[in-house]
Chain A
Amino acid sequence: DVKVTQSSRYLVKRTGEKVFLECVQDMDHENMFWYRQDPGLGLRLIYFSYDVKMKEKGDIPEGYSVSREKKERFSLILESASTNQTSMYLCASSSTSGWEQYFGPGTRLTVT
């Protein structure tokens, strides 16, 4: 079974803190994605990566950055957390030879 794990299920941070969200996949997938999920807005793509050290902006990259130093790991970074970044964050991975995206369980981040 494909497994995508995220470092935390719940996270509470203060405004202005630097926040790291980690995602690891065990299926040797080339593609990895970070989404945020908000009620009524669905899933919105923040950043994605096709390969190690490669990254591309999604639809809502402002206030976020990413890092992919190893194929299995994709990190989302909030340089200075703000209250409007309170959300559910979902990581996903997929293979270039397939089409299904596999999601992790999500990290619910609260910024106070």
Chain B
Amino acid sequence: QQQVKQSPQSLIVQKGGISIINCAYENTAFDYFPWYQQFPGKGPALLIAIRPDVSEKKEGRFTISFNKSAKQFSLHIMDSQPGDSATYFCAADANFGNEKLTFGTGTRLTIIP
């Protein structure tokens, strides 16, 4: 049973554009929502994370928007650059990340010049 649904599976965005990746969850016990970024040949690495007590978190060009009532959260990449081309995974966890993460299926993002 997939508890975190991620879309789209792949995304192509022009350089300078906004990349948007969406995730939805079912388990209302989730209280920690990280995004991981994975480059080819590397393991995933934490990009940005949010807790449900805030609706938005921004770090540089990366923003997480969180809608608790809809049980949805999204990653926005502003001014997308070719170096942002990677696979992005959303995830969710209960107990503030101190236990196992449930990952989405991933989005392969390609930024074209």
Contact = CB atoms under 8 A, between A and B. Distances in A.
What is the predominant secondary structure among interface residues of chain A facing chain B?
A: strand
Nearest to B49: A99
Contacts of B61: none
Prevailing SS type, chain B contact patch: mixed
Nearest to B45: A103
Interface in A85-105: 90, 92, 94, 96, 98-105
Interface stretch (B12-20, B62-70, B71-79, B99-107): B99-107
Nearest to A47: B100
A77 B48 CA distance: 32
B105 A40 contact: yes
Contacts, number: 54
A57 to B, nearest CB: 10
B43 A4 contact: yes
Given A99-B98, A100-B97, A102-B45, 18 more contacts: A35-B103, A40-B105, A42-B6, A42-B89, A42-B104, A42-B106, A43-B89, A45-B101, A45-B102, A58-B100, A92-B43, A96-B98, A98-B97, A100-B49, A103-B45, A104-B43, A105-B41, A105-B43
Interface of B: 6, 9, 32, 34, 36, 41-46, 49, 89, 93, 96-98, 100-106
Interface of A: 4, 31, 33, 35, 40-45, 48, 58, 90, 92, 94, 96, 98-106
